[in-house]
Structure formats: C-alpha cells, structure tokens
Structure 1
Amino acid sequence: MRAFSIVEVLVGVALVGVLFVSLYTGFSSGFMVIEFARENLRATQVLQEKMETIRLYSWDQINSNGFIPTEFQAPFYAIGTNLDDGDDGITYNGVVLITNAPVSESYSNDLKLVKISLKWKTGRLEHTREVQTLVSRYGLQNYIY
C-alpha cells in the first residue's frame, strides 16, 4: 500500500489554506471597491441634483440671502440596509456656497461662483466631493468637476 507522507499532507493543506485566504481576500476587497463606487455614484447624483436645482433659480433668487439653503443632507440606503436594526445607511452632508466670481473683467457683476461640497463617512473614513460652476445673469451652462 502506498499513502501520503505527513509532509505531503501538510504541504497540501497549506496550499489549500493559501488558496482559501487568497479567494476570501479577493472577494472582500472586490466588495469594498463596489461599495465605494456606489457611494461615489450617489455623491455624484446628489451634486448633480443640487446643480440642476440651482439652474432653475432666477438671478434674483440666487443673489438673495437665505433663499437657497446653505446646508443640506441626503440619505443613501444601499441594498441590504435594514432600517429596523438601526442601520441608517449613509448620510451625505452638503454645503452650498455662492460667492462673487473670481474674475476682474467688466462682466464680473453678472457672474456668481457656486460651489457645492459633499462629505460623508464610511466606517472611519471621511470622503469629500465638490463641484463648482459659474452662474451668469443669463443662465448656467457647464459644470467644472
């Protein structure tokens, strides 16, 4: 009869263990990348939504203090979020800042710089995204990411 020696068995078990740990690590890091991509996608959607809302405002509304809220919150309930267990998902905290345009040309009185910043926390990591654009008296055209 021929059998495996103890060394061969230990080498085989070690190889299977390394394979299992590698697969587990690969799947775990892949799921983290997907989760981070979802959070970034939601942040981009919130920024886009706020910019589109500002696009709807008139020049007088943009210039009036207090008409556009300077702070806002946007929730994100990912798939698998169980609200019954106290899991509130992710809350995006945003700030809208409207200032004079940083240009010195003659049309600078007809421009405003709009910056929207978004912050959220996942675990111990804080993330930040920002979008800014120039709004003219005659409308908003493009965003600068």
Structure 2
Amino acid sequence: MKSVKLHDWQLSGEEPMSRAQQNLFNAACECLSAMQWHGGYLSHDDVRHILTAMVLSWRIIPGLDMGDGKPSVIVLPRSSKELSKSKATEAIQMAFCLGDDPSQFGLSCNPVQWSQVVRLARGISDSDEELSRRFAA
C-alpha cells in the first residue's frame, strides 16, 4: 500500500476521488475488517461497501414474491468508484470515527489498531509515543 501524506486525502469537489483517497480508503477498510462486527467479521470489501452505502445511499426496492409468501427486498449497491472527492473525504472521516470509537456506532469491540499508512495520513507520527501507542498495530 502506498503512503498517503497528511491532507492529501482531504479534498473537495465533484470530480472522481483521487488516487491518494483510494489508497487511504482501502487501507482504512482493511484495518476496519479486523474489528468484530456484532459477533462476526467482515471482509475489506464488505467494509468498503458499508461505508460507501452510508455516504452514497443504496436503493432498496421490493423484491419478487417467489410463491412462498415471503416477498423480499433487493438492495441496489453503489460502487466506491462513484465517490467524488468530497464524498471520499466524508467516507474516510467516517471510517476514522468508526475505528476510533466503535461503541458510538453500537459495536462492542476495541478501537481499531490503524496501519502505518492510515496513521501517517492522519498526521500520527510513530515518534509521538502517546498517539502511536493508542493507534499503532
């Protein structure tokens, strides 16, 4: 994973997200996949889909009744490739909030241990002992 400099990812605009944002978003999703989600674990892609859904909104439509009396719902996902610079910044910030304090989102697990890529992008230096101890893997 390539390093991302502090503030390279804090962008705004409707243009597609930058490569630095993609790298950081993927790194953050990888870190978040190590935390327990309501008793289980999600893949990196699952986490990416959840954060994208929260920012872009998925559409939920009625499904088909297959004759068993249980009509379903269908979720129409959106791709993280649709994130604009502004929306990517929002998704990355959401990932940080989730990883730093999972309890605020109803998860009973420890905060995430962020990778070096994420720590550096957040301005957390390994030489800052207190922050490094809190966030380091």
- Normalising by the smaller structure, the TM-score range is under 0.3
TM-score normalized by structure 1? 0.20
Structure having the higher Rg: 1
TM-score normalized by structure 2? 0.21
Q: Which has the higher contact order (CA 8 A, sep 6+)?
A: 2
